[in-house]
Amino acid sequence: MNNEQFDLVIVGSGSGNAIPEYLSDWNIAIVERGVYGGTCLNVGCIPSKMFVLPADAALAATNGAQLGIDTQFNGADFPAIRDRVFGRIDEISASGREYRATGSPNVTLFEGTASFVGDKVFHVDMNDGGQRMISGDKVLLAAGARPVVPQISGLTEVGFHTSDTIMRLDDLPQRLGIIGGGFIAVEMGHVFAGLGSDVTLFNRSNTLLRGFDEDIAARFTELFAERVNLRLGVVPTHVERTADGIALTVGAETVIVDELLVATGREPNSDLVDVKSGGIACHHRGTVVVDDTMATNVENVWAIGDIANSYQLKHLANAEASVAFWNIAHPNDVRRQSYKAVPGAVFSNPQVASVGLTEQEAVAQGLPFKVGKRDYAGTAYGWAIVDESSFAKVIVNTETGLIIGAHILGPQAASLIQPIIQAMEFDQRADDVARKVLYIHPALTEVVENAILEAL
């Protein structure tokens, strides 16, 4: 088998597809094992948020009375929602693939699974059944991650969905079971409950969003329990398909659902790429070890995104891609990726956003700090939206005066946290952020201002 040589081999077409113009004269190979465009575009953040919007609208329609208006939710046309989402996304994916396959003269697209067989040498098991051997002077690993499937008796035989498939159902299930309590579980729980499904969620932990600040996790769990049937501290021990549906055994209880979503996390695809055969070091959870230049322990091999970090955030993967591509092309002018203020958001209902340390992490690190916490209900816009449950929480280091963490639960949380992200990244003191800029009145940003002021 001939070994095809390239200047650069990219494994993965998500953030790895963002090839900059300054590499237009390089001979580049892209290898993609699945649908072109990666997780975010096809099965992740973009389609899921397009489903969240109609679920938010449906939920708002049921709460009109608190605003003095008579609105109601009469049901969802799930196929129409699905087709609106994927009618746009599938076209983008297909056009991206077509461009790389036929419209990029310096790029060769290999559709298959690449695995290392030596130093920067790959065997590609093509999706059409063929076999190829390729190698690169330089390599960028951007192969992403895939859903974890827990060891539950009967699960693999019964037929279940992951985040890769749940959004393409033909119809809205009357009863949906979800195993998991992280961001995918609660986003999809919100979507299907909002659109009319009877959702039962099973989670091993006693709270949802366990990795978040404890105040956030506790409040979110309390509010989510008002809309979703929660079975906390337990997971099904057996699953089987019956005439009535999918039967999940939980202790002495049996719960029947029509469809089952498994959302117990995602694992990096480093094993599929067989990075060990390429001499590349991994952490114990399988993520590739990289430094802040995105370089691995093997010279001229870089890695980005879900295969290289545990954040599993598209905005971080894109930033890492920008750094990696620059360093690949400019070895004498190295750039570095900052991880000082990596934010994340959960687009469920309520919405959650977080950046920096939780209060519990600050305690564990022995840092001197003070917490500022303010409710939406303490602001004029909070009165307008009749919000009695949402809040913003800010953690300030009392020695440095810097914000070291922020956590927001409620409407627009992912937008409200943005000025704090900037303050943390550029070491702006909390006092300056709160007192030396104007906050529009009566905008919801006042809850952030007030939380910082309370911490001071």
Q: How confident is the model at residue 176 (pLDDT cuts 50, 70, 90)?
A: very high
CA distance 47 to 41: 7
Residue 365 neighbours by CB distance under 10 Å? 10
Q: How far is Cα of residue 409 from the mean position of the Cα atoms in its chain?
A: 17
Smallest CA-to-CA distance from 298 within 145, 143, 144, 141 is with: 141
Q: How confident is the model at residue 451 (pLDDT cuts 50, 70, 90)?
A: very high
Q: Kindly provide the residue ranges of all beta strands, DSSP E only, lying in 16-170, ordered along the sequence.
A: 28-32, 107-118, 121-126, 131-141, 145-147
Q: What domains are there in the chain, each with its CATH number?
A: 3-55+74-147+267-329 (3.50.50.60), 155-264 (3.50.50.60), 350-455 (3.30.390.30)
pLDDT exceeding 70 applies to what percent of the chain?
Answer: 100
Q: Is 284 a catalytic residue?
A: no
CA distance 82 to 47: 9
Q: How confident is the model at residue 94 (pLDDT cuts 50, 70, 90)?
A: very high
Residue range 3-10: mean pLDDT, rounded: 97
Q: What is the dihedral of CA 151, 155, 156, 160, to 10 degrees?
A: -120
3-state secondary structure of 19: coil
Rg of the chain's alpha carbons, rounded to an integer?
24
Residue range 212-223: mean pLDDT, rounded: 98
Structure confidence by residue, pLDDT tens digits, 122-154: 999 999 999 999 999 999 999 999 999 999 999
Residue 190 has phi, psi (to 5 degrees) of: -65, -45
What number of residues does the chain have? Answer: 456
Predicted confidence (pLDDT) at residue 352 exceeds the cutoff of 90: yes
Predicted confidence (pLDDT) at residue 351 exceeds the cutoff of 90: yes
Residues 6+ apart with CB under 8 A from 236: 152, 179, 202, 248, 249, 250, 255
With beta carbons less than 8 A apart as the criterion, state whether 265 and 165 touch. Answer: no
Predicted confidence (pLDDT) at residue 29 exceeds the cutoff of 90: yes
Q: Tokens 């922020």 label which residue?
A: 406
Host H or E run for residue 85: helix 78-98
Residue range 300-305: mean pLDDT, rounded: 98
Residue range 314-333: mean pLDDT, rounded: 98
Q: Kindly provide the residue ranges of all beta strands, DSSP E only, lying in 266-376, ordered along the sequence.
A: 266-268, 301-303, 343-346, 352-356, 369-375
AA identity, residue 340: K
With beta carbons less than 8 A apart as the criterion, state whether 342 and 305 touch. Answer: no
Residue range 201-209: mean pLDDT, rounded: 97
Residues 6+ apart with CB under 8 A from 60: 71
CA distance 300 to 298: 6
CA distance 308 to 91: 29
pLDDT of residue 1: 80
